[in-house]
Amino acid sequence: MTNIPSVDLADFISEDPKRKKKFVDEIGNAYSEIGFASVKNHFLDDSLMDSLYKEVKDFFALPESIKGQYEIEGLGGQRGYISFGKEHAKGKKEGDLKEFWHFGQEISENADLPDEYPKNVMVKEQPTFNEVGFLAYRKLEKTGIYVLRALALYIGLDEFYFDHWVTDGNSILRPIHYPPITKEPKGAVRAGAHGDINLITLLMGASAGGLQVLRKDGVWLDAIPEEGDLVVNVGDMLERHTNNKLRSTIHRVVNPPKEQWGTPRYSIPFFMHPRSDMKLDCLKECIDERHPKAFDDITAGEFLHQRLVEIGLM
């Protein structure tokens, strides 16, 4: 394998049972092997992507004094601005070479959640920043729901098993800015090797390369999606829930060659989280004699809090 597998969401949403099964098998196999796939024909169109990138670049170009007003203490970085170097990979001391923003869920009236989510932070300098961000949030959320429906079928569950848990879920849209590198980083990288916390992550095309995925044989593989595709990968919550049937693959964002240090990088992942009361206990469909239960029982909320502490946001 020299690149991540490519799948077509149009197969799954077609009326053709053979095409639907083809998508289920392809994405299920991809996630059993490497945990990453490049997904075409998703719901996020190019014009919305372009609008979001413009808003994001304009925000990160604001003076530090203005951006700093949107960094809200006590939220564990769940909403608003998170300043440069604050987050680090689990097990690392060096902060990642990035700053970022968090858009969160706007819940429906009848959500009946066990706890409240923090309110989204509004950027007054850019009248359409939040509007564009949330439009993209909904399109990515819709794409993620369809991917999870396919994975539910692959596992042997009801197709709509995940719908309740991710509708009004604690998902996060994270625009990231990796500024130009101005001096030797001393061990720090743009994003240290890590697995994502959540169920699945949907990443729209970054403005520059650097994303690498760790293959089973220990070789780092450049993840290069086709133009316009989303890179969609399994997170630790889904790996845990499926008792390692679906793999949360370690990945990183490496620093560019020195001659490209002056080039910034922008990236916008959507971290699909369930409601905090979802039990991540290993599914019985994924446990047998060859695959005994590998994880203790835990809820999504408990697991998220544990990991936010480990990566320095709480």
Taking alpha carbons only, the member of 71, 124, 58, 61 closest to residue 101 is: 71
Contact by Cβ (8 Å): 87, 148: no
Q: Which two tokens stand for residue 61?
A: 């170009």
Asked if the structure places residue 236 within a domain, the reply is yes
Q: Please report, in tens digits, the pLDDT of each residue of the chain (314 residues total).
A: 457 889 999 999 998 999 999 999 999 999 998 889 999 999 999 999 999 999 999 999 999 999 999 998 877 778 999 988 665 555 555 556 789 999 999 988 887 887 888 999 999 999 999 999 999 999 999 999 999 999 999 999 999 999 999 999 999 999 999 887 666 666 555 567 888 999 999 998 654 567 888 888 888 888 878 888 999 999 999 999 999 999 998 888 776 666 666 678 888 999 999 999 999 999 999 999 999 999 999 999 999 888 888 877 66
Report if residue 62 sits inside a domain.
yes
100 has which bridge partners?
Answer: 82, 176
The H-or-E segment that residue 231 falls in is strand 230-234
Q: Three-class SS of residue 48?
A: helix
- Do the domain assignments include residue 103? yes
Nearest-angstrom CA–CA distance, 63 and 73: 19
Residues 39 and 11: their CA atoms lie apart, in Å, by: 11
- Establish if 279 belongs to a structural domain: yes
Q: What angle do CA 69, 86, 206 make, to 5 degrees?
A: 90
* 1 occurs within a structural domain: no
pTM: 0.89
Q: How many domains is the chain built from?
A: 1
Report which secondary-structure segment, H or E, holds 81.
strand 80-82
- On whether residue 92 sits in a domain, the answer given is yes
The residue assigned the tokens 């596992």 is 155
Q: Residue 211: inside a domain, yes or no?
A: yes
Q: What is the CATH number of the domain that holds 205?
A: 2.60.120.330
- Please state at what angle helix 129-155 crosses helix 46-60, rounded to 10 degrees: 130
Beta bridge partners of 272: 200
